[in-house]
Copies of this chain bind each other. A is one copy, B any other.
Amino acid sequence: MARIDELRLMTQVARMYYEQELRQPEIMKRLNLSQSTISRLLSRARESGIVRITVNVPSGTHPELEEALQERYRLKQCVVVESVDDEEQIIRELGEAAAFFVETTAGPGDVIGISSWSAALLAMVDAMHHGARGGARVLQILGGVGSPGAEVHATQLTRRLAHLLNGEATLLPAPGVVGSRKARDVLLEDRFVAEATRLFDQVTLALVGIGAVEPSRLLAESGNVFSKSELNTLGRHGAVGDICLHFFNEQGNPVATPLHDRVIGMSLEQLRRVGRVVGVAGGKRKTVAIKGALAGGWINILITDRNTAERLLKG
């Protein structure tokens, strides 16, 4: 009935509100309408399409992929960075994104567990600014990997992160893999090691790399922790990747091998109890590993690159 007049009024109010940026109380005065009426007119204007709100996706960001991954793999959050040709560069991008993520979302209440050894996590620490909001405790949740020297690198990573966040570091002064279950049990009794492992179940935010089974360069360079035969065994059991040196297959199920008992670090089960587990990984080589991690639900936040994201959504 009063169709056209209503439209006119809706339009007028919408323009005052959205274009002239007048507040509802002001419009109320000017048009002699109650604030309720204005609010209702505005919502009808939105419904009816008189007012259109669009979110323009800036190039280089991929919210659709992020949302699709979240949906598909029940993730809490997901960050997809732009892919570039150079794999090194992708790692840097991932690191920067991860750094930003941690800087913006980690607070003084958090206990951040960081799993050495991962190129992406290293890049993250490199990209991080100092003086973000302070005070998160940083905990090393995996022993150093490879030669004793590399072990030091691992603790350095933890230390640097703690320093950058103005927080306190708790180190795990032990190798990530030892020769036998027995050796591990002995090390777990070490005072400092025990101190770190006790904190495992207080972790609120875990940062983990995702390893591909085909040995990554870094692992290799760190001294070939795993022998050829060990890798073969893993391969025969269908292992596609690892988190904290705990391996899983493409479906995400843990692969039980003797290796399991030789790792000093958080177990997958412990990880699963953590509120936010952030996996940082990208690149073609890692796709299957990431898929396994996602399928097993071992991470609930993923930071990856566009191409990998697309591959993860295809299969």
Chain A: interface residue count, which band? 35 or more
- Chain B residues closer than 8 Å to A57, beta-carbon distance: 11, 50
Could you mark each residue 1-37 of chain A with 1 if its beta carbon is under 8 Å from any beta carbon of chain B, else 0?
A: 1101111110110110011000000000011110001
Contacts A52-B53, A55-B19 given; indicate if A60 touches B7 (C-beta within 8 A).
yes
- Chain B residues closer than 8 Å to A32, beta-carbon distance: 105-107, 276
> How many monomers of this chain does the complex have?
2
Could you mark each residue 26-68 of chain A with 1 if its beta carbon is under 8 Å from any beta carbon of chain B, else 0?
A: 0000111100010000000100011111111110110100110
Name A's B-contacting residues (CB within 8 A).
Answer: 1-2, 4-9, 11-12, 14-15, 18-19, 30-33, 37, 45, 49-58, 60-61, 63, 66-67, 76-77, 79, 81-82, 96-97, 100-101, 103-107, 129, 276
- Chain B residues closer than 8 Å to A55, beta-carbon distance: 11, 14-15, 18-19, 45, 50-52
Q: Are B61 and A11 in contact (CB under 8 A)?
A: yes
- Chain B residues closer than 8 Å to A14, beta-carbon distance: 55
Q: Are A100 and B2 in contact (CB under 8 A)?
A: yes
A57 to B37, CA, bound (A): 20
Most-contacted residue by chain B among A45, A82, A96, A100 (CB, 10 A): A100
10 more A-B residue pairs beyond the given contacts A4-B61, A15-B67, A33-B104, with a C-beta to C-beta distance below 8 A: A2-B129, A7-B61, A8-B79, A9-B100, A30-B76, A32-B276, A50-B55, A50-B56, A51-B54, A52-B54
Most-contacted residue by chain B among A50, A77, A104 (CB, 10 A): A104
Contact of A18 among B53, B103, B129 (CB under 8 A): B53
- Chain B residues closer than 8 Å to A5, beta-carbon distance: 96-97, 100-101
Contact of A58 among B18, B30, B50, B81 (CB under 8 A): B50
- Chain B residues closer than 8 Å to A61, beta-carbon distance: 4, 7-8, 11
- Chain B residues closer than 8 Å to A106, beta-carbon distance: 32
Task: Kindly provide the distance from the CB of A48 to the nearest chain B CB, expressed in whole angstroms.
Answer: 9
Contact of A15 among B63, B77, B82 (CB under 8 A): B63
Task: Kindly provide the distance from the CB of A31 to the nearest chain B CB, expressed in whole angstroms.
Answer: 7
Task: Kindly provide the distance from the CB of A293 to the nearest chain B CB, expressed in whole angstroms.
Answer: 21
- Chain B residues closer than 8 Å to A49, beta-carbon distance: 56
- Chain B residues closer than 8 Å to A58, beta-carbon distance: 7-8, 11, 50
Q: Are B97 and A31 in contact (CB under 8 A)?
A: no
Q: Are B12 and A66 in contact (CB under 8 A)?
A: yes
Task: Kindly provide the distance from the CB of A94 to the nearest chain B CB, expressed in whole angstroms.
Answer: 11
- Chain B residues closer than 8 Å to A81, beta-carbon distance: 4
Task: Kindly provide the distance from the CB of A33 to the nearest chain B CB, expressed in whole angstroms.
Answer: 7
Contact of A96 among B2, B31, B54, B77 (CB under 8 A): B2
A60 to B6, CA, bound (A): 12
Task: Kindly provide the distance from the CB of A271 to the nearest chain B CB, expressed in whole angstroms.
Answer: 18
- Chain B residues closer than 8 Å to A4, beta-carbon distance: 60-61, 81-82, 96
A14 to B58, CA, bound (A): 12
- Chain B residues closer than 8 Å to A100, beta-carbon distance: 2, 5-6, 9
